[in-house]
Amino acid sequence: MAATGSEKQGGEDVKSFYVSTPIYYVNDAPHLGHAYTTVAGDVLTRWHRQRGEKVWYLTGTDEHGQKIMRTAEANDVTPQEWCDKLVEEAWKPLWEHLGIANDDFIRTTEKRHTDRVQEFVQDLYDKDEIYKGGYEGPYCVGCEEYKLPGDLVEDENGVKLCPVHKKPVEILKEENYFFKLSEYGPKLLEFYAANPGFVQPESARNEIVNFVKQGLQDLSISRSTFDWGVPVPWDDKHVIYVWVDALLNYATAVGYGANQEKFDATFPANVHLIGKDILRFHSVIWPAMLMAQGLPLPGKVVANGWLMVGGEKMSKSNLTGIKPQDLTSHFGVDAYRWYFLRAIAYGSDGSFSWEDFTARYTSELANDYGNLASRLAAMVGKYYGGVLPEATAAGAAEQAVRDGLTKAVTTADLKIGEELDFQSGILSIFDFVKQVNGYITEQEPWKVAKDESPEGRARLATILYTAAEALRGVAVLLNPIMPDTSQKLWESLGAEESLGALSDQRVQDAATWGRLAAGATVTKGEVLFPRLEEKPA
pLDDT tens-digit readout, 365-423: 999 999 999 999 999 999 999 999 999 989 999 999 999 999 999 999 999 999 999 99
Q: Quick check: is 140 catalytic? A: yes
Q: Quick check: is 162 catalytic? A: yes
Q: Quick check: is 34 catalytic? A: yes
Mark out the alpha helices in 392-494 (DSSP H runs).
396-412, 422-443, 445-448, 454-478, 483-492
Annotated catalytic residue, options 313, 330, 415, 488: 313
Annotated catalytic residue, options 64, 113, 162, 272: 162
d(CA 324, CA 46): 20
Nearest CA-CA partner of 226 in 181, 170, 148: 170
Q: What percent of the chain has pLDDT over 90?
A: 80
What is the C-alpha end-to-end distance of the chain, expressed in Å? Answer: 40
The band of 4, judged by pLDDT with boundaries at 50, 70 and 90, is: very low
Task: Specify the pLDDT at position 313.
Answer: 59
Nearest CA-CA partner of 244 in 233, 230, 258: 230
Rg (CA), the chain: 26
Q: What is the DSSP string of 186-253?
A: HHHHHHHHH-TTSEESHHHHHHHHHHHHT-PPPEE-EE-S---SPEETTEEEEEE-HHHHHHTHHHHT
Residue 127 has pLDDT above 70, yes or no: yes
Task: Specify the pLDDT at position 537.
Answer: 53
Contact call for residues 41 and 19 (beta carbons, < 8 A): yes
Nearest CA-CA partner of 230 in 382, 118, 123, 150: 118
Contact call for residues 289 and 281 (beta carbons, < 8 A): no
Q: Quick check: is 97 catalytic? A: no
Contact call for residues 322 and 352 (beta carbons, < 8 A): yes
Strand order through the sheet with 219-220: 145-146, 130-140, 170-179, 219-220
**275: part of which helix (H) or strand (E)?**
strand 271-275
pLDDT tens-digit readout, 242-269: 999 999 999 999 999 999 999 999 999 9
pLDDT tens-digit readout, 165-179: 677 887 777 789 999
Annotated catalytic residue, options 143, 276, 282, 415: 143
Q: Quick check: is 83 catalytic? A: no
Q: What is the widest separation between alpha-carbon atoms in the chain?
A: 91
Annotated catalytic residue, options 92, 97, 160, 165: 165
- Better-predicted residue by pLDDT, 487 or 309: 487
Q: Quick check: is 31 catalytic? A: yes
d(CA 332, CA 526): 14
Angle at 136 between CA 133 and CA 139, to 5 degrees: 120
Contact call for residues 403 and 466 (beta carbons, < 8 A): no
Contact call for residues 352 and 520 (beta carbons, < 8 A): no
